[in-house]
Amino acid sequence: MSDFLLQLGQNPQARRLIKALGLPVPIPQTLRRARGPWEERPLADKVIVVGGMGAGRMAAPVAKMLAESGAEPIVIGDALDAFRAPGEAFGRPARAAQLGELPEGKFDGVVFDASELAEPAALRALYEHFHAVTPRLAAGGRAVVIGRAAATAKTPEAAATRRALEGFVRSLAKEVGKRGATAQLLIVDDGAEARGAEVLRFVLSPRAAFITGQPIHVTGEVTGKAPPTRVRALEKKVALVTGAARGIGEATAHLLSAEGAHVVCLDRPEDDALVSKVARDIGGSVLLVDITDPHAPKKIADELRAAHGGVDVVVHNAGVTRDKTIGNMTAEQWEQAVDINLGAVVRITSALLAGVLRDGGRIVCLSSVAGIAGNVGQTNYAASKSGLIGYVEKLAPALAPRGITVNAIAPGFIETRLTAAIPMMIREAGRRLSALGQGGLPQDVAEAISFLAQPASVGITGSVLRVCGGALIGA
């Protein structure tokens, strides 16, 4: 189902006419998405304005990451020394500037390190930076604030200052969304700065086009080292994707394969033709299993062990909706949604953790914004998707010593066959009630899954990453 307003917005004449007439028509900006697998320099020639670094511990890893990624940093303040050596090594020397004397032109990204702010008055620096730079942020640009966790602050004043960053970023995301731009908050634990730079690379890239307004916590909790390579980072890895026949599952299978993984495409026996085509297209394998079958966990574990020697990435994508208000919902509708979306995930994961999922592995569960905010007629679905959030939060610490991360993705309105069946007015509301003013694509969710599946995401675990375009519902 095509988005008429998005198509209309691609016509420059139509955009100018609507603006000139003063019509209250929210024309969304076409998002700049990535094509193909990760490249060595994902930020090539992107002009990134960096401020607030000072003597903070983020300066060196951020400078190194930007230089490696091909960016052209403009450094505000006194952190230029940290950027000099990486810039020379990669032929990308940083430029120094002052907020009142910024170079001409638009900026592709703006980064501010607020990790050293410790009192409310210090937030003035945050205002001054974005006040000067945001008006010049390009369409499809990226704004990122780096902070510390409020829970680890030494004083109430510091905690208040750190938590203020979240409200700032959520609001900024809504302000810049009409330009197709995004805003994120990276909460980086002390000692996890290098890992934070890896996440910064992702959120500055086109692969995070439909993620905005999100606080992303980066920790040093999980055992692991910085990846030796970021191109085909899943080479010689085995990935399992459930519900791989169509939609988000199909898109995920393609992206994981493009990063070098051998993908085992799992779906119901009834979807043999569809899932077999996906597997053929990517050179993967087919595993036909009904995940509600009591014997499914053992069948899956045995197949992965026998055919592949184990598994490195597990993506729990399979799911169903059985929508009815609670008074009209049958017991069967309740059981189907809760068992398929939650119960099967728990059972299959338990079987894989018994010697099948290798150390350093990745588990990604598909939750939903409905599991965060709730939805009319979806008590069963929302309960199951919220349950997944609790599951990853509790499971993550137990697996951290093995180098395994466990996370959830919470998609918002994504253009699939399911949303195409929604009544038109509700569908339009779902598209427009977000900072980016449009629905996402299966690729957007798959990009987030692909990042969480890679070694570079080692700093993120026990988290929920919303891929919702900054939906106005939930938190």
Q: Catalytic residue positions?
A: 381
- Closest among 251, 281, 263 to 442, alpha carbons compared: 251
Half-sphere exposure of 234 (CA within 13 A, CB side): 30
Please return the burial class of 301, using the count of CB atoms within 10 Å of its CB with bins 0-12, 13-18 and 19+: buried
The residues facing 216 across adjacent strands are 186
CA dihedral angle for residue 331, residue 336, residue 339, residue 341, rounded to 10 degrees: -130
32 vs 182: CA distance, rounded Å: 11
The answer to whether 207 and 463 are in contact (CB under 8 A) is: no
239 vs 310: CA distance, rounded Å: 9
User: DSSP letters of 392-437?
Assistant: HHHHHHHHGGGT-EEEEEEE-SB-SHHHHTS-HHHHHHHHHSBTTS
Residues contacting 55, CB < 8 A, separation 6+: 79, 116
Dihedral of alpha carbons 121, 118, 112, 185, sign: negative
10 vs 134: CA distance, rounded Å: 23
Token pair listed for 88: 């020379």
Report the chain's C-alpha Rg in angstroms.
Answer: 22
202 vs 308: CA distance, rounded Å: 30
Please return the burial class of 452, using the count of CB atoms within 10 Å of its CB with bins 0-12, 13-18 and 19+: buried
Q: How many residues does the chain have?
A: 475
Half-sphere exposure of 392 (CA within 13 A, CB side): 29
Q: Is 464 left (phi over 0), alpha (psi -120 to 50) or beta?
A: beta
